[in-house]
Amino acid sequence: MAQQTRATGALVNFIASTSFGDIPADALDIGRRCIADGVAVILAGSTTRASEILRSQVREDGSRAESTILGRDSFQTRAASAALVNATSGHAHDYDDTQLSTTADRIFGLLTHPTIPPLTASLAVGERLGVSGQAMLEAFLVGFEVECKIADAIYPTHYKQGVHTSGTIGAFGAMAAAAKLLKLDRAALAHAIGITASMSGGIRVSFGTMTKPLHVGRAAFNGVTAAELAAKGFTAGADALDGQPATGHLAVTIRPAWRSCRPA
């Protein structure tokens, strides 16, 4: 029987305990396809004016060269900034894959765009750390699953009232991927979740502008930053996904769920 637990603890346990060997073969196949698709839309989006402006902004920061900004005018910068630009490029044309809802209460039947935040986070942090392809794929799929399960669990009003799920929930996917590569322990993971919850954002009023893909870029940036801060000992509330005890507004069921998230 599935075990019910508080959401933050469930997320911590999943990120900390999941290994490459736990991932089913079909999920690995889907994950590789999502990576290929994700890199393709990043390259396509790197030609947009939004990506050009953002690359110029990041260049002005003069950050250390550790992770690659992909596509046109490629260069290296710090991992979080590389994730920011690559993720913005990845959503610039709005062609990145989508998580489809299995219930009728979601607008357009969609939940989030699950690939780009954890992909750009795992590429950026993985490059900085020099990890293997297997470690990068493991981190990506852990982040992908985290993003999909939160998007599936959260109330539909989150999106219906004007919040852009790919920006808010995407940050948790990026955080989980980065945290997996950084090997955060359970205490640090809880803090990383709290930092992410405090940083995530995005409003649908910006749909149709350059800021819509920036939501996904900031999700990747915020997720990487949250994991990096937690790795250094930065703290946050340890139960950020659970809210006040009396409300119990988000519950997570612990069960194998890899097949719940497939690209459209």
Per residue in 216-239, pLDDT (tens digit) is 999 999 999 999 999 999 999 989
For the segment 191-204, the average pLDDT, to the nearest whole number, is 95
pLDDT category of residue 244 using cuts at 50, 70 and 90: low
54: which 2 tokens? 């953002």
Domains and CATH numbers, the chain: 3-247 (1.10.4100.10)
What beta strand segments (E) does the chain contain? 3-6, 67-69, 75-77, 99-100, 110-112, 251-254
Share of the chain above pLDDT 90, in %: 75
Checking if the pLDDT of 13 tops 60, the result is yes
Share of the chain above pLDDT 70, in %: 90
Residue 191: its H or E element? helix 186-199
163: which 2 tokens? 């919040």
pLDDT digits (tens, 9 = 90+) for 145-197: 999 999 988 888 888 889 999 999 999 999 999 999 999 999 999 999 999 99
